[in-house]
């Protein structure tokens, strides 16, 4: 049964008044905090990054208030012009504020600059990343994006570093090492191998530029019906999510992209600050907002990433929830590459009120603890979605969820998923409290036309 939504004028008037008072209180708080920052800072202006961060946080806290977000941008612009700070953190803050203002094009450009300014101090290396990069170099040479004269010697240097690093990691029983902590000769090999610098030497391929203004979503999907399902259930499964051409391009990007630079245990992440800024992703976010206005209104694109799992057999990511309002998770690897599992379990539980992000957005390293946690979550109800290429699971983002253990044995076809997060969790919590929205009604998952009933199990 659909919950009643109050739309009378008095209620709306009250809502606007409450919102206005909140903004006034937040502005007062901002000015007091800034005064403190300037007292604590070294100069009259204090720390520009902290100041910009404060305006950003307050802007986000007030429902992405443009006035505060623009203050953040002005502070960053001044600091960049002064040239007194490292550019990467400033550009990242700039990109985050631009996203909240829904200026996605400018935000993507800012993230591109962040990726170029990455510091060598923060650079890490792991054997599985080196093996991945050897394959990547081969693909880039085959695609004509770098010459064999550059690619082959670089791959040789990586092999050399891999031999040394493999020994280092085995001895210390580490899976990852900071590059600057390695012996000088390994650092030299990595430098010669263009490690983590491929982004700067590979020109953007023509296929990528074609997606500046194209619609990547499947035009045959009945988005209105899906939106209605989501408003009822808080979870939908959409098959053939991208059009065939967009899926092909995303898969090429997953295999040839130079942005898989964030190391996680057994998999690589490509985040915006790593250079994961394909225009197709921006267009997908813009088109989703047009097609699902009741779900995504005032919930701008907040984060996105590609994850590539390099262990052929893996448990994937354990039980966690994401700090956002709506989560789009789309699988990109051909279905035929999946020998077993690879789907997702989406539990009915959400983190409690006031829980810190670090407490629900981290996974357990102990396999036994993880099993106990999954079993406990299942007892509260779970929606299970089977793996399939180009299938999207769309759900309220703070529902706990986990990967189904899987086997993707072909190194040329690793499991890759794309995640797009919209909006904020605190806003979802507020909506839940008002108990007048889709977020409180959960009667199980629905599948779009095309999804197989057997692919969904609801317990
Ligand atoms: Fe997640």
Distance between Cα 52 and ligand 1 center (Å) = 28
- Return mean pLDDT, the chain: 84
Cα–Cα distances in angstroms (integers) from residue 267 to residues 130, 238, 259, 317, 397, in the given order: 12, 25, 13, 10, 22
103-113: pLDDT as tens digits: 999 999 999 98
Provide the pLDDT for residue 251: 98
Quick one: average pLDDT of 5-13?
A: 56
Provide the pLDDT for residue 446: 44
Provide the pLDDT for residue 105: 97
Distance between Cα 458 and ligand 1 center (Å) = 19
pLDDT of 366 over the 90 cut: no
Provide the pLDDT for residue 219: 95
176-231: pLDDT as tens digits: 888 888 889 889 999 999 999 998 888 889 889 999 999 999 999 999 999 999 98
Distance between Cα 319 and ligand 1 center (Å) = 8
pLDDT of 415 over the 70 cut: yes
pLDDT of 132 over the 60 cut: yes
pLDDT of 2 over the 60 cut: no
Any idea which residue has 């012996």 for tokens? 183
263-292: pLDDT as tens digits: 988 899 999 999 999 999 999 999 999 999
Which range has the worst mean pLDDT, 112-126, 208-222, 386-400? Answer: 112-126
Instruction: Report the distance separating Cα 17 and Cα 11, nearest Å.
Output: 10
Q: What is the band of 167 on the pLDDT scale with cuts at 50, 70, 90?
A: low
Distance between Cα 234 and ligand 1 center (Å) = 15
Distance between Cα 320 and ligand 1 center (Å) = 6
Q: What is the band of 445 on the pLDDT scale with cuts at 50, 70, 90?
A: very low
Provide the pLDDT for residue 270: 97
Collect contacts of 354-363 with beta carbons under 8 A, ≥24 apart: 357/323, 360/320, 360/321, 360/398, 360/400, 361/320, 361/321, 361/322, 361/323, 362/320, 363/317, 363/318, 363/319, 363/320
> Which of 127-131, 132-136, 357-361, 453-457 is modeled with the greatest confidence?
132-136
Instruction: Report the distance separating Cα 278 and Cα 304, nearest Å.
Output: 11
**Residue 452 C-beta-side C-alpha neighbours within 13 Å:** 5
Provide the pLDDT for residue 52: 87
Distance between Cα 348 and ligand 1 center (Å) = 14
Provide the pLDDT for residue 448: 44
Distance between Cα 327 and ligand 1 center (Å) = 8
Residue 398 contacts residue 350 (beta carbons within 8 Å): yes
pLDDT of 454 over the 60 cut: no
**SS3 per residue for the chain:** CCCCCCCCHHHHHHHHHHHHHHHHHHHHHHHHHHHHHHHHCCCCCCCHHHHHHHHHHHHHHCCCCHHHHHHHHHHHHHHHHHCCCCHHHHHHHHHHHHHHCCCHHHHHHHHHHHHHCCCHHHCEECHHHHHHHHHHHHHHHHCCCCCHHHHHHHHHHHHHHHHHHHHHHHHHCCCCEEHHHCCHHHHHHHHHCCCCCHHHHCCCCHHHHCCCCCCCECCCCCHHHHHHHHHHHCEEEECCCECHHHHHHHHHHHHHCCCCCEEECCEEEECHHHCCCCHHHHHHHHHHHHHCHHHHCCCCEEEEEEEEECCCEECCCCCECCCCCEEEEEECCCHHHCCEECCEEEECCCCCCCCCHHHHCCCCCCHHHHHHHHHHHHHCCEEEECCCCCCEEEEECCCCEEECCEECCCCCCCEEEEEEEECCHHHHHHHHHHCCCHHHCCCCCEECCCCCHHHEEEC
Please give the share of the chain, as a percent, with pLDDT higher than 70.
81
Distance between Cα 198 and ligand 1 center (Å) = 28
Distance between Cα 354 and ligand 1 center (Å) = 19
Distance between Cα 347 and ligand 1 center (Å) = 12
Provide the pLDDT for residue 236: 95
Distance between Cα 316 and ligand 1 center (Å) = 11
Provide the pLDDT for residue 436: 47
Distance between Cα 109 and ligand 1 center (Å) = 25
Q: What is the band of 427 on the pLDDT scale with cuts at 50, 70, 90?
A: confident
Which range has the worst mean pLDDT, 150-154, 231-235, 251-255? Answer: 231-235
313-357: pLDDT as tens digits: 787 888 899 989 999 999 999 999 999 999 999 998 888 877 778
Distance between Cα 143 and ligand 1 center (Å) = 32
Instruction: Report the distance separating Cα 231 and Cα 211, nearest Å.
Output: 30
Provide the pLDDT for residue 344: 95
Cα–Cα distances in angstroms (integers) from residue 210 to residues 4, 204, 288, in the given order: 45, 11, 19
pLDDT of 7 over the 50 cut: no
Quick one: average pLDDT of 118-122?
A: 73
Which range has the worst mean pLDDT, 18-32, 155-169, 178-192, 337-351? Answer: 18-32
Instruction: Report the distance separating Cα 97 and Cα 107, nearest Å.
Output: 8
């Amino acid at each position: 049964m659909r919950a009643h939504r109050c739309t009378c004028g008095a209620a709306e008037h009250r809502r606007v008044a409450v919102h206005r008072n909140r903004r006034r209180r937040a502005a007062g708080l901002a000015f007091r905090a800034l005064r403190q920052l300037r007292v604590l800072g070294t100069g009259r202006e204090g720390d520009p990054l902290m100041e910009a961060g404060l305006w950003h946080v307050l802007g986000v806290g007030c429902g992405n208030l443009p006035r505060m977000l623009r203050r953040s941008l002005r502070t960053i612009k001044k600091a960049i012009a002064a040239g007194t700070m490292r550019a990467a953190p400033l550009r990242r803050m700039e990109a985050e504020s631009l996203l909240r203002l829904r200026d996605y094009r400018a935000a993507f450009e800012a993230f591109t600059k962040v990726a170029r300014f990455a510091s060598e101090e923060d650079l890490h290396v792991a054997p599985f990343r080196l093996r991945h990069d050897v394959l990547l170099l081969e693909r880039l040479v085959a695609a004509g994006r770098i010459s064999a004269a550059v690619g082959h010697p670089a791959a040789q240097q990586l092999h050399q570093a891999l031999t040394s690093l493999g020994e280092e990691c085995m001895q210390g029983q580490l899976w990852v090492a900071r590059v600057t902590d390695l012996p000088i000769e390994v650092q030299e090999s990595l430098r010669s191998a263009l490690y983590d610098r491929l982004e700067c030497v590979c020109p953007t391929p023509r296929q990528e530029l074609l997606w500046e203004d194209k619609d990547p979503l499947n035009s045959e999907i009945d988005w209105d019906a899906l939106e209605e399902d989501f408003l009822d259930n808080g979870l939908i499964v959409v098959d053939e999510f991208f059009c065939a051409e967009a899926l092909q391009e995303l898969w090429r990007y997953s295999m040839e992209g130079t942005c898989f630079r964030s190391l996680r245990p057994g998999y690589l992440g490509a985040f915006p600050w790593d250079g994961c800024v394909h225009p197709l992703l921006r267009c997908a976010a813009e088109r989703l907002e047009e097609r699902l206005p009741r779900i995504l209104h005032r919930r701008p694109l907040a984060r996105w990433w590609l994850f590539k799992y390099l262990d052929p057999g893996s448990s994937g990511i354990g039980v966690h929830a994401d700090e956002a309002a709506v989560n789009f998770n789309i699988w990109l690897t051909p279905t035929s590459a999946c020998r077993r599992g690879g789907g997702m379990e989406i539990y009915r539980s959400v983190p409690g009120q006031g829980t810190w992000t670090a407490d629900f957005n981290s996974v357990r390293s102990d396999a036994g603890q993880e099993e106990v946690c999954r079993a406990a979550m299942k007892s509260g109800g779970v929606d299970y979605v089977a793996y399939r290429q180009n299938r999207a699971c769309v759900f309220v983002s703070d529902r706990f969820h986990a990967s189904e253990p899987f086997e993707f044995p072909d190194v040329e076809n690793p499991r890759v998923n794309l995640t797009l997060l919209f909006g904020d969790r605190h806003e979802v919590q507020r909506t839940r409290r008002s108990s007048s929205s889709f977020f409180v009604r959960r009667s199980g998952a629905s599948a779009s036309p095309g999804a197989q009933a057997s692919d969904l199990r609801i317990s």
